[in-house]
Structure 1
């Protein structure tokens, strides 16, 4: 299954808008069929993939809000790319269990970076970042 997802994201050449409207749903369906070996393989290759591939993946990693998805998202937050970071934060808003929240809170660098981005963020990004902080502290 993991190879199928990897190929799908790699070969998906439609516009970005089409990815976020249609491609993401198709990728999420593939993710919903993942077993533990698939998640482990995906975790091992995610940082070797191009930035655009990582962005596409991060956008759809809330299929079941499981620990595998959470760990991949947390690892992708270690990026210099602001857009990938914001996509990960946006997706992390779906992770509402206490365990998920605690894993995020255990990484103070995440909150520091979110707080650093807030003053310079555009309207949409600012609302998303604020919502992330609100849900994290709820």
Structure 2
């Protein structure tokens, strides 16, 4: 199943097409992943192009499981501001105590979110504030 997801994420699509159809298909694929698919995804994700990573990050909140969370946490170590914002947006769904602890155990994440609050546009600022309020509760 990993190969099918990889091919889908690598496909050049319009933004509308991705958000209308592609992300739904990718999310459905992720629900069918077995442990070896998750291992391959975890091992390959950081070597993929930024656009591929952005598409993936947008879809990683199906189950809100630790496998998805760990991939999102690995993607946060990026210089690409949009990828970072997508990851934070998706992380707002990870509100169980175990997920919060894993996020809080990475103080660089909270520091970067706080730093971005000063320069972010209004929609992104709302996402960042919502993330902080959910994680710090």
User: TM over 0.5: same fold?
Assistant: yes
Correspondence for 1:74: 73
4+ residue segments displaced more than 3 Å: none
1:65 alignment partner, SS class = coil
Correspondences of 1:26-105 after superposition (within 5 Å) = 26-105=25-104
Separation in structure 2 between the aligned mates of residue 132 and residue 52 of structure 1, nearest angstrom:
23
Q: Which residue of 1 aligns with 2:7?
A: 7
Of 127-136 and 19-28, deviating more is: 19-28
Tell me the distance in 2 between the aligned counterparts of 1:9 and 1:53: 5
Cα distance in 2 for partners of 1:25, 1:127 equals 24
Indicate yes or no: 2:104 matched with 1:114.
no
- TM-score calculated relative to the size of structure 2: 0.98
| Alpha-carbon offset, residue 128 of structure 1 | 0.3
CA RMSD after TM alignment: 0.7
Deviation of 1:21 after TM superposition, in Å, equals 2.3
Measure how far apart 1:2 and its partner are. 0.6
List runs of 5+ in structure 1 lacking aligned partners: none
Matched residue pairs, number? 137
Give how far 1:17 is off: 2.3
